Structure 1
């Protein structure tokens, strides 16, 4: 089967790509197709996130294992599109370059049959140009922080001398 995805850059202007790709393609291969279709060199860190109907970020599927063995991590090269996207769960979030946070909304639009003579992956449609800089993101905490709250976990970094670090640690 062929998956037809719309990949939308999370920005004010309409910037998206429509891509046909085989369902058994790994997320690493899909990552390469996405970066190439948007004109990135593909050398930055990236992750996919399983998403729900409201585009809430769920389980991470990472390009590389950065966990240092602390807990199991799903990797792109071990996960196929059919493992994470289907008609009942069609949404993924894709983040490329964690310093700039290029964020894409990836939605499975259709599952289709192979077309003889067509090569996959196939970029069906290109709309819009990538901006020079990643769109600004506003990150808001769930709970507002109040300095006056009695919070034993709060560290005043202006008083870092009291933390007991050895200044010649290296």
Structure 2
């Protein structure tokens, strides 16, 4: 099967590449292709993440597995079609953990016809910026429980003693 995959760089300006790939290619092959078409050397660490329709990051598929399990996922041991097989299925791709270049990969078409020259870049939109855009990581604020005390609460709960000198240790 031939997959048409749209790869969008997470930047303010549109930077898009559309690729034709053989569905039986590994994710490592796709990693090398994405790095090449976006102008990277492909030598940095990277990971794919399975994603849902809302682009929520799911299970990681790293370039190299650091797990002792011989069946652990890695890009070289899993194919593209094992991770996406129907149009509109998605993967998130992160390249170069120091700069966090983030890409959104979506399967947009599946065809049975064969093309002799695969993989193939079929559409280029926009220029890759010189530096990766800054990422803003936001976490949900945890719910406050009775043991989460800010400075004012701390003073209220523990104002019985001004110092250790006020404690009569003979009673203990």
TM-score, normalised to structure 1's length? 0.80
Shift of 1:89: 6.3
Q: In 2, distance between residues paired with 1:82 and 1:89?
A: 13
Between 73-82 and 84-93, the greater mean CA deviation after superposition: 84-93
Residue 47 of structure 1: SS of its match in structure 2?
strand
TM-score, normalised to structure 2's length? 0.79
Q: In 2, distance between residues paired with 1:9 and 1:45?
A: 17
| Paired residues of 1:48 and 1:95 also in contact (CA < 8 A) | yes
Shift of 1:143: 2.4
Where do 5+ consecutive residues of structure 2 fail to align? 151-172
Q: In 1, distance between residues paired with 2:122 and 2:87?
A: 23
- Structure-to-structure mapping, 1:97-112, within 5 angstroms: 97-112=96-111
Q: Which segments of structure 1 move beyond 4 Å, counting only runs of 4 or more? A: none
Q: Select which of 141, 146, 167 maps to 1:143.
A: 141
Query: Alpha-carbon deviations, 1:61-90, whole Å to 9, x = none?
Result: 0001234x3896310000001100011661
Supply the RMSD in Å over aligned alpha carbons.
Answer: 2.2
Count of aligned pairs between the two proteins: 148
Q: In 2, distance between residues paired with 1:75 and 1:109?
A: 24
Partner of 1:65: 65
Distance 1:85 1:2, change over 3 A: same
Q: In 2, distance between residues paired with 1:110 and 1:17?
A: 14
